[in-house]
Amino acid sequence: MTTSDIITAPAVATPEVASGAGCHGGRETMVEAAKAAGKSDMLARLEADYPRGPHDQPQSMCPAFGSLRVGLRMRRVATILSGSACCVYGLTFTSHFYGAKRTVGYVPFNSETLVRGQLYEDIRAAVIETAKPDDYDAVVVINLCVPTASGVPLDLLPKQIDGVRIIGIDVPGFGVPTHAEAKDVLSGAMLRYARLEAEEGPVQRPRGPNQDLPTVALLGEMFPADPVGVAALLAPMGLGLAPQLPSREWRDLYGALDCAVAAAIHPFYTASVREFRAAGRPVVGSGPVGVEGTATWLEEIGRAANISAAKIDEAKARALPAIQGVLAANPIKARVTVSGYEGSELLVARLLTEAGAEVPYVGTACPRTEWNAADQAWLEARGTHVQFRASLEQDVAAMIDAKPDLALGTTPLVQKAKELGRPAIYFTNMVSARPLFGPAGAGALAAIVAAQTRGADRFSRMVSFFDKVGTGDSVGYGATGAPVPRRKKPKAARPVDDANVPIGV
């Protein structure tokens, strides 16, 4: 297709949405506006893929960050946002905070360009300007809340321009519950595009040497050492690793689709799994954590890849004693609650439990899916309460109720725990920054649990030392007491030399 083939979009947007409603504008208002603007099918798809939880707004960061991050981490992929300036400011800030080192494209709008449909034309122009085959394999455009609710029709963008693929996705906060699932929105859209390309004819193979082995494609962002460890677990079965998803390069998508088995390590990649299944690939859930988790996972992967029972047993015999040895050498004697929004919470809880920890509660912002059902059953059989789509309020209540020696959780949960004098660490920075799988994962958590629980009495000393500083009326820098009420501004004008009128009131 050439740029001259591009179809002109209809005018879009209702005035109330154009006036700036966002995640503060009310979910129902935005959903109704999106449906009226022709996005009913898209919303139905999102609702089926990412069922909603108890709260009607995401409680973690803007969901679109997940899609943006996936795009920004890929080579030769440009990512363009279409949304309100405040949303884009927050998203670019967060991207660079997490070290994106990449340009975030932005197509701004105002009420008039939105209502008249000019925004679509501006997006189309930006895509045409960006889609240079020397620079990019693909251009991703992400509709945020207001353009989605206004019906900006990214599906009318050309599918490719001079060989550069164009991927337009809607990632509204009122349709995608977490930024974790937003990673799947883009991964699934790209995988679908790549699958259709592969069905039409030869495609590029991934970089690196040819791999003759049948492979396993891992779904989910992982600590960099984990894929290496998983490769070692698979090697005795004669299996290699396919490129991981979310991928780092467009051509990796073909390599992932070419796997023998897809492993849904993170359980929320619903759209991506749909593409693997459409390509005829079996999908296995859970992950190789601890002794029992690793044994089951190797069996299921081996069976799905038609590996002989003898080879599966060989893989287990190589891995399990080593994991058992590390767990025995690094026992965890603590009560730990786990809360997070990354999708690996149940796997972390399994590992903690096998290492000897008592885990009364696991809360995850992600939904229950067929790929974490076995982990849920394993944990519940050992007395752990598993809360899917957990709200912050549920996580905090569980932490208060369970009185853990250590709480692993999100930033607001950690803050609440520390206010109560309880050791707590941030899941993303501390837990996800360590290996989880195989022998390396078996010893990684013990060290942080021991280090944090050792200093438990320090937290209660800090609570008594600060004694309500920074709470209530003393919140804020330099605040030392209850606010002093300002005098009311006088109604009538007074002489300028009236000393009773404070300057600047």
Residues that bind ligand SF4 (CB under 6 A): 22-23, 62, 64, 83-84, 87, 90, 144-145, 173
d(CA 365, CA 179): 10
Place of tokens 């009318």: 156
- Minimum Å gap between C-beta 83 and ligand SF4 is 5
Give 89 or 466: the residue with its C-beta nearer to ligand SF4.
89
Give 144 or 263: the residue with its C-beta nearer to ligand SF4.
144
User: Over the Cα atoms of the chain, what is R_g?
Assistant: 26
- Minimum Å gap between C-beta 301 and ligand SF4 is 37
Phi first, then psi, for residue 278 (nearest 5°) are -65, -30
Give 174 or 427: the residue with its C-beta nearer to ligand SF4.
174
Give 178 or 286: the residue with its C-beta nearer to ligand SF4.
178
CA distances from 198 to 161, 254, 267, 468 (A): 18, 7, 25, 62
Beta bridge partners of 160: 165
- Minimum Å gap between C-beta 273 and ligand SF4 is 25
Tell me: cis bond preceding 246? Omega within 30 of 0 counts.
yes
Q: Sheet holding 105-107: strands in order across?
A: 105-107, 77-82, 138-143, 164-170, 160-161
- Minimum Å gap between C-beta 245 and ligand SF4 is 23
Residue of closest CB approach to ligand SF4? 173
d(CA 162, CA 40): 31
Where helices occur in 25-117 by DSSP H, the ranges are: 27-36, 40-49, 64-72, 85-97, 111-115
Give 64 or 352: the residue with its C-beta nearer to ligand SF4.
64
- Minimum Å gap between C-beta 398 and ligand SF4 is 26
C-alpha atoms less than 13 angstroms from C-alpha of 207 in its C-beta half-sphere: 6
- Identity at 222, one-letter amino acid code: M
- Minimum Å gap between C-beta 93 and ligand SF4 is 11
- Minimum Å gap between C-beta 421 and ligand SF4 is 34
Give 62 or 425: the residue with its C-beta nearer to ligand SF4.
62
The three state secondary structure string of 158-191 is CCEECCEEEEEEECCCCCCCCHHHHHHHHHHHHH
Give 174 or 297: the residue with its C-beta nearer to ligand SF4.
174
Q: Residue 192: enclosing H or E segment and its boundaries?
A: helix 179-200
d(CA 278, CA 219): 16
Judge contact between 263 and 284, C-beta under 8 A.
yes
Judge contact between 179 and 61, C-beta under 8 A.
yes
- Minimum Å gap between C-beta 412 and ligand SF4 is 17
- Minimum Å gap between C-beta 61 and ligand SF4 is 8
Give 59 or 453: the residue with its C-beta nearer to ligand SF4.
59
- Minimum Å gap between C-beta 243 and ligand SF4 is 29
Give 51 or 90: the residue with its C-beta nearer to ligand SF4.
90
- Minimum Å gap between C-beta 86 and ligand SF4 is 7
Judge contact between 19 and 111, C-beta under 8 A.
yes
Give every CB contact of residue 310 below 8 A, 6+ residues apart in sequence: none
Identify each DSSP E strand in 75-146 by its residue range. 77-82, 105-107, 138-143
- Minimum Å gap between C-beta 179 and ligand SF4 is 9
Is residue 362 helix, strand or coil?
strand
Give 109 or 378: the residue with its C-beta nearer to ligand SF4.
109
d(CA 141, CA 134): 19
Give 22 or 229: the residue with its C-beta nearer to ligand SF4.
22
Give 22 or 188: the residue with its C-beta nearer to ligand SF4.
22
CA angle 47, 49, 53 (to 5 degrees): 60
Phi first, then psi, for residue 435 (nearest 5°) are -65, 155
